[in-house]
Amino acid sequence: MSLSRSLFKKSSDEKISSYYSPVSKFKMLLLRPLKNLPCDAEIPRFLEENDKYAKACGLSPLAIPHESQINRFKNHEITPIELLAIFYFMVTVAITHKIADSYLAAIDSPILDSHANPLHKTLTGSCKTCPYAHTCSHPAEWVSTDVNASFTVKHSNYSYGHKVHTMVDSVSNLVMGLFVSPSNLNDNPLFIPLLKVIDTIVRFRFKKYAADKGYDDKDNYHFVVNELKAELIIPHREETKTSPSLELFRIKDQVYHCTKVDMPLRPNGSDKKQNAVMFKCPNGFDGFSCPHATGCLKQGQTHKTFKVQIQDDLRIFGTPTTPKGSLQWKDDFKKRTSVERVFSDNKRVRQVASFLNFNLTAIFTHVVVAFVAHNLTVIFDHFKDTFRT
Protein backbone atom coordinates (compact mmCIF):
# COMPACT_ATOMS: atom_id res chain seq x y z
CA MET A 1 0.00 0.00 0.00
CA SER A 2 1.35 3.43 -0.91
CA LEU A 3 2.07 6.14 1.65
CA SER A 4 -1.00 8.07 0.51
CA ARG A 5 -3.32 5.07 0.90
CA SER A 6 -2.16 4.47 4.46
CA LEU A 7 -2.30 8.10 5.57
CA PHE A 8 -5.57 9.16 3.92
CA LYS A 9 -7.84 6.17 4.17
CA LYS A 10 -10.57 7.06 6.71
CA SER A 11 -13.41 9.12 5.27
CA SER A 12 -14.91 9.50 8.75
CA ASP A 13 -11.98 11.64 9.90
CA GLU A 14 -13.24 15.23 9.58
CA LYS A 15 -9.73 16.69 9.78
CA ILE A 16 -8.51 14.55 6.90
CA SER A 17 -11.73 15.15 4.93
CA SER A 18 -11.28 18.94 5.15
CA TYR A 19 -7.69 18.60 3.92
CA TYR A 20 -8.93 18.50 0.33
CA SER A 21 -10.67 21.53 -1.17
CA PRO A 22 -14.12 21.13 -2.82
CA VAL A 23 -12.57 22.24 -6.13
CA SER A 24 -10.02 19.40 -5.97
CA LYS A 25 -12.74 16.88 -5.14
CA PHE A 26 -14.93 18.07 -8.01
CA LYS A 27 -12.01 17.80 -10.43
CA MET A 28 -11.48 14.24 -9.22
CA LEU A 29 -15.14 13.47 -9.90
CA LEU A 30 -14.75 14.86 -13.43
CA LEU A 31 -11.87 12.48 -14.13
CA ARG A 32 -14.14 9.45 -14.22
CA PRO A 33 -16.30 10.56 -17.19
CA LEU A 34 -13.41 12.35 -18.90
CA LYS A 35 -11.12 9.31 -18.78
CA ASN A 36 -13.94 6.72 -19.04
CA LEU A 37 -13.03 5.04 -15.74
CA PRO A 38 -15.33 2.08 -14.92
CA CYS A 39 -16.11 3.14 -11.32
CA ASP A 40 -15.36 5.77 -8.66
CA ALA A 41 -12.85 3.42 -6.99
CA GLU A 42 -10.61 3.73 -10.07
CA ILE A 43 -10.14 7.49 -9.59
CA PRO A 44 -7.50 7.27 -6.79
CA ARG A 45 -5.68 4.49 -8.65
CA PHE A 46 -5.61 6.59 -11.82
CA LEU A 47 -4.25 9.60 -9.90
CA GLU A 48 -1.52 7.51 -8.25
CA GLU A 49 -0.36 6.35 -11.68
CA ASN A 50 -0.61 9.78 -13.36
CA ASP A 51 1.12 12.57 -11.42
CA LYS A 52 0.20 15.27 -13.94
CA TYR A 53 -3.53 14.65 -13.41
CA ALA A 54 -3.02 14.67 -9.62
CA LYS A 55 -1.30 18.05 -9.87
CA ALA A 56 -4.06 19.32 -12.19
CA CYS A 57 -6.55 18.43 -9.45
CA GLY A 58 -4.49 20.44 -6.95
CA LEU A 59 -3.16 17.33 -5.17
CA SER A 60 0.25 16.20 -4.07
CA PRO A 61 1.18 12.85 -5.66
CA LEU A 62 1.90 11.62 -2.11
CA ALA A 63 -1.50 12.71 -0.77
CA ILE A 64 -4.07 11.06 -3.05
CA PRO A 65 -7.35 10.68 -1.14
CA HIS A 66 -9.01 7.36 -0.49
CA GLU A 67 -12.05 6.54 -2.66
CA SER A 68 -14.31 6.98 0.39
CA GLN A 69 -13.39 10.68 0.43
CA ILE A 70 -14.65 11.01 -3.13
CA ASN A 71 -17.83 9.03 -2.36
CA ARG A 72 -18.60 11.19 0.66
CA PHE A 73 -18.21 14.34 -1.46
CA LYS A 74 -20.41 12.90 -4.21
CA ASN A 75 -23.13 11.56 -1.91
CA HIS A 76 -23.36 14.22 0.79
CA GLU A 77 -21.14 17.28 0.42
CA ILE A 78 -21.80 18.81 -2.98
CA THR A 79 -25.39 20.06 -3.31
CA PRO A 80 -27.65 19.97 -6.39
CA ILE A 81 -27.70 23.79 -6.47
CA GLU A 82 -23.89 23.93 -6.59
CA LEU A 83 -23.87 21.31 -9.35
CA LEU A 84 -26.44 23.17 -11.42
CA ALA A 85 -24.47 26.40 -10.96
CA ILE A 86 -21.40 24.69 -12.45
CA PHE A 87 -23.41 23.04 -15.22
CA TYR A 88 -25.18 26.23 -16.35
CA PHE A 89 -21.94 28.20 -16.06
CA MET A 90 -20.46 25.84 -18.65
CA VAL A 91 -23.55 26.30 -20.84
CA THR A 92 -23.22 30.09 -20.51
CA VAL A 93 -19.55 29.89 -21.54
CA ALA A 94 -20.55 27.93 -24.64
CA ILE A 95 -23.27 30.45 -25.49
CA THR A 96 -20.93 33.42 -24.95
CA HIS A 97 -18.41 31.95 -27.38
CA LYS A 98 -21.16 31.17 -29.91
CA ILE A 99 -20.64 27.41 -29.64
CA ALA A 100 -24.36 26.77 -29.10
CA ASP A 101 -26.39 27.08 -32.30
CA SER A 102 -29.87 28.59 -32.00
CA TYR A 103 -31.51 26.64 -34.84
CA LEU A 104 -33.03 23.56 -33.17
CA ALA A 105 -33.08 21.96 -29.71
CA ALA A 106 -33.86 18.25 -29.30
CA ILE A 107 -35.69 17.01 -26.19
CA ASP A 108 -36.01 13.45 -24.92
CA SER A 109 -36.24 11.46 -21.65
CA PRO A 110 -33.88 8.45 -21.76
CA ILE A 111 -34.09 5.85 -18.98
CA LEU A 112 -31.30 4.96 -16.53
CA ASP A 113 -31.66 1.50 -14.99
CA SER A 114 -31.47 1.45 -11.20
CA HIS A 115 -28.55 -0.34 -9.53
CA ALA A 116 -31.24 -2.22 -7.56
CA ASN A 117 -31.56 -4.21 -10.79
CA PRO A 118 -27.96 -5.42 -10.34
CA LEU A 119 -27.33 -6.89 -13.79
CA HIS A 120 -29.61 -4.47 -15.68
CA LYS A 121 -31.68 -7.45 -16.78
CA THR A 122 -34.56 -7.19 -19.23
CA LEU A 123 -37.77 -7.21 -17.20
CA THR A 124 -41.21 -8.54 -18.04
CA GLY A 125 -43.11 -6.67 -15.34
CA SER A 126 -44.12 -9.88 -13.54
CA CYS A 127 -42.06 -12.30 -11.47
CA LYS A 128 -44.30 -15.15 -12.65
CA THR A 129 -43.24 -14.73 -16.28
CA CYS A 130 -39.75 -13.30 -15.77
CA PRO A 131 -36.98 -15.73 -16.86
CA TYR A 132 -34.72 -14.36 -14.11
CA ALA A 133 -37.22 -14.89 -11.26
CA HIS A 134 -35.25 -17.77 -9.74
CA THR A 135 -31.83 -16.16 -9.97
CA CYS A 136 -32.29 -12.54 -8.89
CA SER A 137 -33.96 -10.56 -6.14
CA HIS A 138 -37.59 -9.77 -6.77
CA PRO A 139 -38.89 -6.29 -7.73
CA ALA A 140 -40.49 -5.93 -4.29
CA GLU A 141 -37.00 -6.06 -2.81
CA TRP A 142 -35.68 -3.65 -5.41
CA VAL A 143 -38.35 -1.10 -4.50
CA SER A 144 -37.39 -1.27 -0.83
CA THR A 145 -33.74 -0.74 -1.86
CA ASP A 146 -34.20 2.18 -4.25
CA VAL A 147 -37.23 4.18 -3.13
CA ASN A 148 -36.65 6.86 -5.79
CA ALA A 149 -36.79 4.48 -8.78
CA SER A 150 -39.92 3.08 -10.39
CA PHE A 151 -41.17 0.71 -13.07
CA THR A 152 -42.08 1.85 -16.55
CA VAL A 153 -42.76 0.24 -19.93
CA LYS A 154 -41.64 1.58 -23.30
CA HIS A 155 -42.09 -0.25 -26.62
CA SER A 156 -43.15 -3.36 -24.64
CA ASN A 157 -39.87 -3.30 -22.66
CA TYR A 158 -40.06 -2.97 -18.88
CA SER A 159 -37.50 -0.89 -16.98
CA TYR A 160 -36.86 -0.06 -13.35
CA GLY A 161 -34.97 3.15 -12.71
CA HIS A 162 -34.93 6.86 -13.45
CA LYS A 163 -35.51 9.23 -16.37
CA VAL A 164 -33.13 11.96 -17.46
CA HIS A 165 -35.20 14.68 -19.14
CA THR A 166 -32.64 16.31 -21.44
CA MET A 167 -32.38 19.14 -23.96
CA VAL A 168 -29.52 19.12 -26.49
CA ASP A 169 -28.44 21.63 -29.14
CA SER A 170 -28.81 19.55 -32.31
CA VAL A 171 -25.90 21.29 -34.09
CA SER A 172 -23.13 21.43 -31.45
CA ASN A 173 -24.47 18.50 -29.34
CA LEU A 174 -24.14 20.70 -26.25
CA VAL A 175 -26.39 19.56 -23.37
CA MET A 176 -28.46 22.65 -22.51
CA GLY A 177 -30.44 21.41 -19.49
CA LEU A 178 -31.73 18.38 -17.63
CA PHE A 179 -34.04 17.04 -14.91
CA VAL A 180 -33.86 13.62 -13.20
CA SER A 181 -37.09 11.87 -12.15
CA PRO A 182 -38.49 8.39 -11.41
CA SER A 183 -39.01 6.51 -14.68
CA ASN A 184 -42.80 6.27 -14.30
CA LEU A 185 -43.21 10.05 -14.68
CA ASN A 186 -44.61 10.89 -18.10
CA ASP A 187 -42.35 12.89 -20.42
CA ASN A 188 -44.91 15.60 -21.05
CA PRO A 189 -45.27 17.32 -17.60
CA LEU A 190 -41.60 18.36 -17.49
CA PHE A 191 -41.42 19.75 -21.04
CA ILE A 192 -42.48 23.32 -20.25
CA PRO A 193 -40.58 23.51 -16.90
CA LEU A 194 -37.37 22.39 -18.66
CA LEU A 195 -37.75 25.08 -21.32
CA LYS A 196 -38.57 27.70 -18.69
CA VAL A 197 -35.48 26.84 -16.62
CA ILE A 198 -33.15 27.16 -19.61
CA ASP A 199 -34.82 30.35 -20.82
CA THR A 200 -34.61 31.90 -17.34
CA ILE A 201 -31.06 30.89 -16.38
CA VAL A 202 -29.06 31.23 -19.60
CA ARG A 203 -31.39 33.55 -21.56
CA PHE A 204 -31.05 31.49 -24.70
CA ARG A 205 -33.83 30.49 -27.09
CA PHE A 206 -33.92 28.25 -30.12
CA LYS A 207 -35.84 28.85 -33.32
CA LYS A 208 -37.28 25.33 -33.18
CA TYR A 209 -37.79 22.59 -30.57
CA ALA A 210 -38.14 18.93 -31.61
CA ALA A 211 -39.42 15.99 -29.57
CA ASP A 212 -41.24 12.67 -30.02
CA LYS A 213 -44.96 11.87 -29.72
CA GLY A 214 -44.75 11.70 -25.93
CA TYR A 215 -44.71 15.50 -25.88
CA ASP A 216 -47.67 16.00 -28.24
CA ASP A 217 -49.84 18.33 -26.18
CA LYS A 218 -51.64 21.54 -27.10
CA ASP A 219 -50.20 23.38 -24.07
CA ASN A 220 -46.66 22.62 -25.27
CA TYR A 221 -47.43 24.01 -28.71
CA HIS A 222 -48.97 27.20 -27.42
CA PHE A 223 -46.16 27.77 -24.89
CA VAL A 224 -43.42 27.40 -27.53
CA VAL A 225 -45.24 29.49 -30.16
CA ASN A 226 -46.69 32.20 -27.92
CA GLU A 227 -44.14 32.46 -25.08
CA LEU A 228 -40.85 31.51 -26.75
CA LYS A 229 -41.79 32.79 -30.24
CA ALA A 230 -40.48 29.57 -31.75
CA GLU A 231 -41.76 26.47 -33.57
CA LEU A 232 -42.44 23.00 -32.17
CA ILE A 233 -41.61 19.91 -34.23
CA ILE A 234 -43.58 16.97 -32.80
CA PRO A 235 -45.45 14.19 -34.66
CA HIS A 236 -49.19 14.32 -34.15
CA ARG A 237 -50.64 11.41 -32.19
CA GLU A 238 -53.29 9.31 -33.89
CA GLU A 239 -56.69 10.90 -33.90
CA THR A 240 -59.20 9.81 -31.32
CA LYS A 241 -61.10 6.88 -32.78
CA THR A 242 -64.55 7.82 -33.99
CA SER A 243 -67.09 6.81 -31.40
CA PRO A 244 -69.42 4.07 -32.68
CA SER A 245 -72.20 5.91 -30.84
CA LEU A 246 -71.59 9.19 -32.67
CA GLU A 247 -75.17 9.20 -33.94
CA LEU A 248 -76.45 9.16 -30.34
CA PHE A 249 -75.61 12.84 -29.65
CA ARG A 250 -75.85 16.17 -31.48
CA ILE A 251 -75.12 19.84 -30.84
CA LYS A 252 -78.10 21.98 -29.86
CA ASP A 253 -77.65 25.61 -28.76
CA GLN A 254 -73.87 24.94 -28.54
CA VAL A 255 -74.49 22.10 -26.04
CA TYR A 256 -74.18 18.37 -26.72
CA HIS A 257 -77.55 16.59 -26.42
CA CYS A 258 -78.62 12.96 -26.46
CA THR A 259 -80.55 12.42 -29.70
CA LYS A 260 -82.93 9.84 -28.17
CA VAL A 261 -84.24 11.80 -25.19
CA ASP A 262 -83.15 15.31 -26.28
CA MET A 263 -81.43 16.00 -22.94
CA PRO A 264 -77.99 17.61 -22.47
CA LEU A 265 -74.99 15.38 -21.86
CA ARG A 266 -73.12 15.80 -18.56
CA PRO A 267 -69.42 16.81 -18.46
CA ASN A 268 -67.15 13.91 -17.56
CA GLY A 269 -63.62 15.35 -17.54
CA SER A 270 -61.11 15.39 -20.38
CA ASP A 271 -58.35 13.37 -22.04
CA LYS A 272 -55.35 15.70 -22.42
CA LYS A 273 -53.30 13.16 -24.33
CA GLN A 274 -55.89 12.98 -27.09
CA ASN A 275 -56.97 16.60 -26.65
CA ALA A 276 -60.57 15.54 -26.10
CA VAL A 277 -63.45 16.43 -23.80
CA MET A 278 -65.59 13.69 -22.32
CA PHE A 279 -69.32 13.50 -21.58
CA LYS A 280 -71.75 10.95 -20.15
CA CYS A 281 -75.40 10.41 -20.97
CA PRO A 282 -78.16 11.75 -18.66
CA ASN A 283 -79.24 8.29 -17.46
CA GLY A 284 -79.27 8.17 -13.65
CA PHE A 285 -78.81 11.95 -13.26
CA ASP A 286 -81.22 13.60 -10.83
CA GLY A 287 -83.39 10.47 -10.68
CA PHE A 288 -83.85 10.25 -14.46
CA SER A 289 -84.20 6.70 -15.82
CA CYS A 290 -83.65 6.56 -19.58
CA PRO A 291 -86.19 4.39 -21.47
CA HIS A 292 -83.48 3.55 -24.06
CA ALA A 293 -80.89 2.40 -21.50
CA THR A 294 -81.28 -1.32 -22.28
CA GLY A 295 -80.50 -0.68 -25.96
CA CYS A 296 -77.59 1.75 -25.42
CA LEU A 297 -75.78 0.38 -22.39
CA LYS A 298 -73.73 -2.78 -22.02
CA GLN A 299 -74.25 -5.11 -19.09
CA GLY A 300 -73.07 -3.46 -15.88
CA GLN A 301 -72.94 0.07 -17.34
CA THR A 302 -74.88 2.84 -15.62
CA HIS A 303 -74.29 5.47 -18.30
CA LYS A 304 -72.75 5.85 -21.75
CA THR A 305 -69.52 7.85 -22.18
CA PHE A 306 -68.74 10.07 -25.19
CA LYS A 307 -65.35 11.48 -26.22
CA VAL A 308 -65.18 14.51 -28.53
CA GLN A 309 -61.82 15.64 -29.89
CA ILE A 310 -61.05 19.34 -29.89
CA GLN A 311 -59.44 20.53 -33.09
CA ASP A 312 -56.24 22.51 -32.45
CA ASP A 313 -54.69 24.00 -35.59
CA LEU A 314 -51.17 24.30 -34.15
CA ARG A 315 -51.15 20.72 -33.01
CA ILE A 316 -52.62 19.25 -36.18
CA PHE A 317 -51.19 21.47 -38.91
CA GLY A 318 -48.07 23.05 -37.35
CA THR A 319 -47.00 26.63 -38.09
CA PRO A 320 -47.32 28.44 -41.46
CA THR A 321 -43.50 28.56 -41.87
CA THR A 322 -43.06 24.83 -41.15
CA PRO A 323 -46.32 22.97 -41.88
CA LYS A 324 -46.55 19.54 -40.31
CA GLY A 325 -45.55 16.83 -42.79
CA SER A 326 -43.64 19.19 -45.12
CA LEU A 327 -40.11 18.33 -46.30
CA GLN A 328 -38.67 21.00 -43.98
CA TRP A 329 -40.65 19.60 -41.04
CA LYS A 330 -39.39 16.06 -41.76
CA ASP A 331 -35.82 17.28 -42.06
CA ASP A 332 -36.11 19.15 -38.73
CA PHE A 333 -37.62 16.12 -37.01
CA LYS A 334 -34.68 13.95 -38.08
CA LYS A 335 -32.40 16.29 -36.12
CA ARG A 336 -34.23 15.22 -32.94
CA THR A 337 -32.10 12.07 -32.85
CA SER A 338 -29.13 14.20 -31.71
CA VAL A 339 -30.33 13.93 -28.10
CA GLU A 340 -30.48 10.12 -28.40
CA ARG A 341 -26.96 10.01 -29.85
CA VAL A 342 -25.58 12.25 -27.09
CA PHE A 343 -27.10 10.08 -24.36
CA SER A 344 -25.96 6.87 -26.04
CA ASP A 345 -22.41 8.23 -26.41
CA ASN A 346 -22.34 9.29 -22.76
CA LYS A 347 -23.42 5.79 -21.74
CA ARG A 348 -20.58 4.37 -23.79
CA VAL A 349 -17.68 6.77 -23.13
CA ARG A 350 -18.70 8.57 -19.91
CA GLN A 351 -20.14 5.66 -17.90
CA VAL A 352 -23.34 7.65 -17.29
CA ALA A 353 -25.35 4.43 -16.86
CA SER A 354 -22.81 2.87 -14.48
CA PHE A 355 -23.45 3.87 -10.88
CA LEU A 356 -23.80 2.03 -7.57
CA ASN A 357 -25.97 4.58 -5.77
CA PHE A 358 -29.55 4.54 -4.48
CA ASN A 359 -29.31 8.09 -3.12
CA LEU A 360 -31.18 10.32 -5.59
CA THR A 361 -28.82 13.24 -4.92
CA ALA A 362 -25.81 11.04 -5.71
CA ILE A 363 -27.47 9.79 -8.92
CA PHE A 364 -28.23 13.38 -9.92
CA THR A 365 -24.58 14.29 -9.18
CA HIS A 366 -23.36 11.37 -11.28
CA VAL A 367 -25.48 12.41 -14.28
CA VAL A 368 -24.69 16.13 -14.06
CA VAL A 369 -20.95 15.51 -13.69
CA ALA A 370 -21.04 13.28 -16.80
CA PHE A 371 -22.80 16.02 -18.78
CA VAL A 372 -20.40 18.70 -17.48
CA ALA A 373 -17.57 16.52 -18.80
CA HIS A 374 -19.42 16.14 -22.10
CA ASN A 375 -19.91 19.92 -22.43
CA LEU A 376 -16.26 20.55 -21.52
CA THR A 377 -15.27 18.23 -24.36
CA VAL A 378 -17.58 20.07 -26.79
CA ILE A 379 -16.10 23.43 -25.75
CA PHE A 380 -12.52 22.14 -25.91
CA ASP A 381 -13.05 20.63 -29.38
CA HIS A 382 -14.49 23.95 -30.58
CA PHE A 383 -11.44 25.93 -29.45
CA LYS A 384 -9.07 23.24 -30.73
CA ASP A 385 -10.62 23.50 -34.20
CA THR A 386 -10.58 27.31 -33.96
CA PHE A 387 -6.86 27.44 -33.13
CA ARG A 388 -6.06 25.06 -35.98
CA THR A 389 -7.72 27.37 -38.50
pLDDT score of 372: 95
In this prediction, residues 152-174 reach a mean pLDDT of 83
The span from the CA of 121 to the CA of 136, in Å, is 9
End-to-end CA separation in angstroms for the chain: 48
Q: Is the pTM of this model over 0.85?
A: no
How many DSSP H helices and E strands does the chain contain?
A: 15, 12
| pLDDT, position 1 | 43
Distance separating alpha carbons of residues 182 and 320, to the nearest angstrom = 37
pLDDT exceeding 90 applies to what percent of the chain? 37
Which one is predicted more confidently, 223 or 358?
223
How many whole angstroms separate alpha carbon 240 and alpha carbon 315?
14
What is the architecture, at CATH level 2, of domain 82-236+324-388?
2-Layer Sandwich (3.30)
Q: For 31-68, b where at least 16 C-beta lie within 10 A, e where not — what string? A: bbbbbebeebebbbebbbeeeebbeebebebeebbbbb
The residue ranges of every structural domain in the chain are 3-78, 82-236+324-388, 246-313
Structure confidence at residue 267 as a pLDDT band (50, 70, 90) = confident
3-state secondary structure of 12: coil
- What confidence tens digit (pLDDT) does each residue in 89-123 have? 999 999 999 999 999 999 999 888 776 654 444 44
Cα gap 32→44, rounded to integer Å: 10
